[in-house]
């Protein structure tokens, strides 16, 4: 399957294949010293969890956009991936035309979001309204009202274009909202890590 992806990317004029690896070790070794724009990670790697790879790479190259390859886009794995720092996902069973478009879109700043994930995020953010107290692990940064609206409309099945139209904003604005939402997941992760470290007495 990696060959398929490599072929698609090579075929696409606006994309250049930089590297392909079949194990996490290979990738990480190479990634440390080679900057790239987009990274596609399969969650089911043989030697290590794809999530861990994403976290490491995020650490190594924060500017790189990361996409997760998944079979169905089930929201359990998706949310974990987003928390780890992924910015988007690709379905493995998509057509090849989809693949190129998706990669370009991701690089351009667009992040796909499925209604189920939108619904899940809404629920999770609503579930902890005031739990962000100092004693407990800091809750996620709250969503802004606009972001909540975006999530709500996506959860109802509207496309980004329709969402932009309904909200009276530009499509790019909607995309940046979604990016921010994913970013808040990631930030949450970082903040929690800091909190944990404090708790453990590692930081002062």
Partner 1 sequence: MLLWAIAALSCFAPAFAASESGLLMLDRAQALLEPQGGPPSEGEVDLARRWDREFPGQGGRATYRITLPPRVDMEPMALLFSRVGNQVHVLLNDSTVQRWGTLGDPLFDATKTVRRVTLPAALLNADRPNELRVEVTIQAQRLGGLSVVRYGPVALIEDLYTRQILWRDLAMLVFGAGLVGMGALTAVLWWRQRDPFYGWFSVAALLGVVRVIDRSWPDVPVPWPLWAAIAAICYTAHVALMCRFALIAVGSLSRGMRRAIDGVIVVVSVLDGLAFALGMPLLMTIGFTFIPVLGLATLALVMRKAFVSRSAKAWVLAVAIAGALAAGTHDVVMIRVAGASGLYNTYIQHGMFVFVLAMMWFVAERYNRSVASFRALNADLSRRVEERERQLHQAFDSLREQQHHQSVSIERQRIMREIHDGVGSQLVGLLNMVTRKGADPAALKEQVQLALDEMRMAVDSLQPAHDDLGTLLATLRYRLQPRLQAAGIAVIWDVAELPELRQLSPPVVLHVQRILLEAFTNVMKHAHASQVEVQVRWREEAAPRVMLRITDNGIGFPAGVRAQETQAHGRGLDNMRARATAIGASFDVQQSPDVGVSIALEWQVERAPPSSGFHDNPGHG
Binding footprint of partner 1 on the chain (CB under 8 A): 72, 74-76, 79-80, 83, 93, 98, 114-116, 119-121, 123-124, 126-127, 140, 152, 154-159, 162, 188, 192
CB-nearer residue toward partner 1: 48 or 119: 119
Half-sphere exposure of 197 (CA within 13 A, CB side): 9
Name the minimum Å distance from CB 68 to partner 1: 15
Find the helix packing angle between 24-31 and 50-60, rounded to 10°: 0
Nearer to partner 1 among residue 126 and residue 144 (C-beta): 126
Neighbouring-strand partners of residue 69:
42, 90
Minimum distance between the CB of residue 71 and partner 1, rounded to whole angstroms? 8
61 versus 189: smaller Cβ distance to partner 1: 189
Question: What is the smallest separation between the CB atom of 146 and partner 1, expressed in angstroms?
Answer: 17
Sheet holding 38-42, edge to edge: 38-42, 65-70, 88-91
Residue 33 Cβ vs partner 1, minimum distance, rounded to whole Å: 33
Other beta carbons within 10 angstroms of residue 2's beta carbon come to 12
CB of 76 to partner 1, least distance (A): 4
Alpha-carbon dihedral sign for residues 53, 54, 55, 57: positive
- Rounded CA-CA distance 38/103 in Å is 8
Smaller CB distance to partner 1: residue 39 or 102? 102
Q: Which is nearer to partner 1, 52 or 75 (CB)?
A: 75
Give me the helix-helix angle, 75-84 and 171-199, nearest 10°.
70
């Amino acid at each position: 399957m990696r060959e398929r992806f490599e072929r698609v990317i090579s075929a696409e004029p606006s994309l250049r294949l930089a590297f392909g690896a079949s194990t996490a070790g290979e990738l990480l070794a190479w990634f440390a010293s080679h900057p790239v724009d987009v990274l596609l990670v399969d969650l089911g790697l043989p030697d290590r969890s794809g999530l861990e790879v994403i976290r490491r790479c995020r650490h190594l190259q924060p500017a790189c956009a990361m996409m997760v390859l998944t079979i169905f886009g089930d929201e359990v794995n998706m949310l974990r991936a987003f928390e780890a720092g992924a910015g988007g996902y690709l379905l493995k069973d998509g057509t090849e035309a989809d693949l190129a478009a998706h990669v370009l879109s991701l690089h351009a700043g667009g992040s796909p979001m499925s209604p189920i994930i939108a619904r899940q995020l809404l629920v999770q953010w609503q579930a902890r309204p005031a739990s962000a107290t100092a004693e407990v692990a800091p809750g996620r940064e709250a969503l802004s009202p606009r972001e909540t609206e975006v999530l709500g409309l996506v959860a109802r099945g509207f496309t980004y274009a329709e969402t932009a139209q309904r909200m009276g904003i530009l499509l790019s604005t909607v995309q940046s909202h979604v990016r921010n939402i994913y970013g808040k997941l990631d930030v949450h992760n970082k903040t929690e890590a800091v909190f944990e470290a404090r708790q453990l007495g590692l930081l002062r």
